[in-house]
Structure 1
C-alpha cells in the first residue's frame, strides 16, 4: 500500500510541470489575441481630418495653393496658378516690348540727339512691320509698356494675397460648428401699441438648446 502511494505521488508530480506549461502557453495565446484585437479596433476607427485655420493660412503664405490643398479644395488650384501664369506671361511680354522700344529710343534720340520733331523708322519691331515714330511717341511706348509690366507685378501680389485670404476663410468655414443647438422660427404676431389700432406682423424667435 505504501509503495502504491509513493508511486501515485511521483506520477502526479510528473504531471504538474506539463499542466503549468499548458496554462502558460494558453495565457500567451490569449494575450496575443487580445493585443491583435485591440490593434484591429484602432485601425478600424479612422481619425477625422482636422483643419486648423492658422496652418492653412501659413501654408498659403509660403506656397500659393498649398492652403487650398490642405483644405481639400483642389478645384481652386487652376484658379490660383492660372492667375499667376497669366500675369507672368504679361510681365515677360511687356518687358520684351519695353526693352525693345527703350533701346530704340536710346540709339536714335539720346545718342544722336536729333530735333524733337524728327522721325525714325523702326525695322523689325514686335509686329514685324516698319513704322515712323517721333521721340515723344517712342517715349510713350516705353512708359506704357513699363507701366503694364509693373501692373502685372502688382496683380501677382493681389493673387497671392487673395490666395491667403481664401485659405483662411475656407478653413474657418470648414471648422465652424453647425449643430442643432440653435434654431429659429417665424410666426405671426399681433402688434398693438394701443387696443384700438392693432397691426399684424411677424415675429422671429431664436431658440438655444
Structure 2
C-alpha cells in the first residue's frame, strides 16, 4: 500500500476577491413592518364617524353600505316615533274628554259621531309603535357597532400574511385497509 501526500500553496495574488456589493435574491421580499395600532386606529375612526374606519383601510366601497344600513335604521326609528306620537296625542286627547283628534274626522274633514279608531285601538297602536321604535333603535346601535367591528377586523386582515409559501388545503384519501374515505386538512409551509 502506498500513500501520496500533495501539498499546495496559493499565492495571495491568486485568491478570489469578495464582491463589493451583495446582490439580493429576487425570491426574498422586503415587507413593510406591521403596525399593531392600525386596527385600534381604524376602530376609533369608525366610532367617531361611521365609515371613516373603512376609508382608513382603503375599503371605500363599504362606506355607502355603512351609511345605507345606519340610515335605514334611523329612518325606521323616526317613522315609528312619529306614528307613536300621533297615536299618543290622540289617546291623551280622548282621556281629557275631547272629541277633536284626527280620528274623529273623515278624509274630507267632516266630524264623525264615532271615531275611526277606538280608545283601545289607540292603546294597541301606541304599544305597537313604541316596540317598533325600540327595536329600530337597537338595530341602529347594532349596525353602528358592526361598523366599528368591521373596520377593526378589516385592519387586522390587511396585516395577515397571504403568502404562496403558506397553504391550507383540504384532501380526501381512500383508506386501503377498509375502503373508507378519510377527509382531512393539510397545512403546508415552504421555506
Shared fold, TM over 0.5: yes
| Post-superposition CA distance 1:147-185 (Å, at most 9, x none) | 222221111101101101111111111110112332467
Match of 2:121 among 137, 146, 153: 137
Distance 1:121 1:206 in 2: 70
Q: Please, which runs of 5 or more residues in structure 2 have no aligned partner? A: 1-30
CA shift, 1:123, in A, is 2.7
Note if contact 1:57-1:164 (Cα within 8 Å) is conserved in structure 2: yes
Counterpart secondary structure, 1:207: strand
Match of 1:83 among 69, 77, 89: 69
More helix by proportion, 1 or 2?
A: 1
- Equivalent position of 2:12 in the other structure: none
TM-score (norm 2): 0.63
The equivalences for 1:79-158 within 5 A come to 79-108=65-94, 110-112=95-97, 121-123=103-105, 132-158=116-142
Counterpart secondary structure, 2:79: helix
CA shift, 1:70, in A, is 0.5
Distance 2:172 2:65 in 1: 47
Q: Please, which runs of 5 or more residues in structure 1 have no aligned partner? A: 1-46, 115-119
User: Between Structure 1 and Structure 2, how many residues are aligned?
Assistant: 151
Structure with bigger gyration radius = 1
Match of 1:58 among 44, 48, 69: 44
Across the aligned residues of Structure 1 and Structure 2, the Cα RMSD in angstroms comes to: 3.6
CA shift, 1:92, in A, is 2.0
Note if contact 1:95-1:146 (Cα within 8 Å) is conserved in structure 2: yes
Distance change >3 Å, CA 205–CA 48, structure 1 → 2: closer
Distance 1:153 1:58 in 2: 22
Distance 1:146 1:107 in 2: 18
CA shift, 1:206, in A, is 3.8
- Equivalent position of 2:14 in the other structure: none
